[in-house]
Every structure is written in C-alpha cells, then in structure tokens.
Amino acid sequence: MPLRSSKIPRDSVHHPLFARFYARFSVNADRHAGVAAHRAELLAGLSGRVIEVGAGNGLNFAHYPAAVADVVAVEPERTLRQLAVRSAMDATVPVDVLPGTAEALPVPDETFDAAVASLVLCTVRDLPQALAEIRRVLRPGGELRFFEHGLAPGPVRATAQRALDRTVWPLLFGGCHTARDTLAAIRAAGFELGTYRRLTVPERGLRLPSSPCVLGRARRPGPSAAA
C-alpha cells in the first residue's frame, strides 16, 4: 500500500513528560482500573484491515482478534511511538506503527474496514478534522470503534470540566480536554451512531474529571456492513 510518509510532520506532537507519565499510568490503569477489559470490548469482533489513531504505547494491540488482517497504528509522539513499536512485536496480528496525526492520516482514501479511537479524541487539536480523516480512510460501510472520555452528564460537573479545559488540564495531560462531546462530534462528522454505552472509569473509587466515558460503534454510511 503506498503510504504518504514523506508528507508526515515527524514530531508534530511533542509531549515527552506526558509520554513518560502515560507509559506508566496506562499500564496501571489497564491492570487496576479495568481498562484492559474495556479495550477487549472495544475491539471484539473486528476483522479485516484496521487503522488505530493515536495508538500511544500500543496497549490495544494485544486485544485485536485473530480475524484482523493487519493494523496500521498512527502515533505522533516519538516516545510513545517507540513503545508502540515494541508492543507491535508482541502482538498476535501484524501491526505497522507510523508517525502522523489524526488530522492528516498518512494513508489513502477508503483503505480500512475499521478505525479505532481510544482515549485520543480528547487530545487531537482539531476534532472535526480528525473525524473527517477517519471517515475518509474508512471504506463505505466501515466501522469506527471508540472508547473515549468526555463531557459529564449534568451541568455542575460539565462546568468544572470546562474550567479545567481552559486552564491546567491540557497543560498537565499532553493536550487532553475533559469536556468534549464525542458522541455529538461523531454524529456531526457524518457517521451513523450504532450501539454505545456510557461508563465510568474507574468504576469504583476516585472520580476524576476524565471518568465519564463512552464505548461504542459508529459507521461510515455506505452499502455494505461486511468486512
């Protein structure tokens, strides 16, 4: 497949401190906050060619089902990308890790049967553009699987989230925002929203501004649902 790698800005996302923090935090969250089970649920039943945007250190890779032919994992941050390359070596399906951003995916149109976004749409600089790109690279009828944190139900928590987003949160957490309405953005990008569920992560214990999550599926409108 021809990749437009010569056009990719190599380090358009540079968060070395956050990357080191996330590399440790994410492994703990997978083990102790139930996130590994959410990753397995996110990816269950996928097949064919898959693109994962903002793959981080590659914690989804171990959960791809055997019916997946290959995964193209795009990650802009150098430290996390290097860790993703290591995770790819242990994956049971072929995973190719590429530099690039969700807003300018380095792949041709209509190449993939499915796209995966986990804990990344909170962080992309331009959410409508990222979703437009995901839509572009999915074949008609292709599926977007998402596991994202976002806007809390209820005005009090949402107001607190917005205040955090205007101040410290993006600075502390690598550009992350807590108050994005991911479901509304997915619909606005022209996807047909499928099944989804709201969940709190972690389910028990400390509630964080990033605890309200959605996990589900959407589809690029098109003729075929088959992979």
Ligand X SMILES: C[S@@+](CC[C@H](N)C(=O)[O-])C[C@H]1O[C@@H](n2cnc3c(N)ncnc32)[C@H](O)[C@@H]1O
Classify the phi-psi angles of 174: left when phi > 0, otherwise alpha if psi is within -120 to 50, otherwise beta: left
Query: How far is residue 217's CA from residue 186's CA, in Å, rounded to a whole number?
Result: 10
Query: How far is residue 206's CA from residue 179's CA, in Å, rounded to a whole number?
Result: 18
* Residues in 62-81 that interact with ligand X by CB under 6 A: 75-77, 80
Residue 142, token pair as written in the block: 């292709």
Structural contact between residues 80 and 22, judged by C-beta atoms closer than 8 angstroms: yes
CB-closest chain residue to ligand X: 56
User: Quick one: 53 or 215, whose CB is closer to ligand X?
Assistant: 53
User: Quick one: 134 or 227, whose CB is closer to ligand X?
Assistant: 134
* Side-chain-facing half-sphere of 171: CA atoms under 13 Å: 5
In whole angstroms, how close is the CB of 101 to ligand X at the nearest point? 4
DSSP 7: G
Listed ranges 52-60, 61-69, 164-172, 205-213: which one lies at the site for ligand X (CB under 6 A): 52-60
* Residues in 95-134 that interact with ligand X by CB under 6 A: 101-103, 118-120, 123-125
- According to CB under 6 A, which one of 22, 112, 169, 191 is a site residue for ligand X? 22
In whole angstroms, how close is the CB of 226 to ligand X at the nearest point? 27
Q: Give the pairing type, strands 95-98 and 68-74.
A: parallel
Helix count (H) and strand count (E) of the chain? 7, 7
> Does the protein bind ligand X through residue 10 (CB under 6 A)?
no
| φ and ψ of 209, to 5 deg | -60, -20
* Contact map string, positions 167 to 186, toward ligand X, x by CB under 6 A: -------xx-----------
User: Quick one: 168 or 225, whose CB is closer to ligand X?
Assistant: 168
Site residues (vs ligand X, CB under 6 A): 13, 22, 26, 53-56, 59-60, 75-77, 80, 101-103, 118-120, 123-125, 174-175
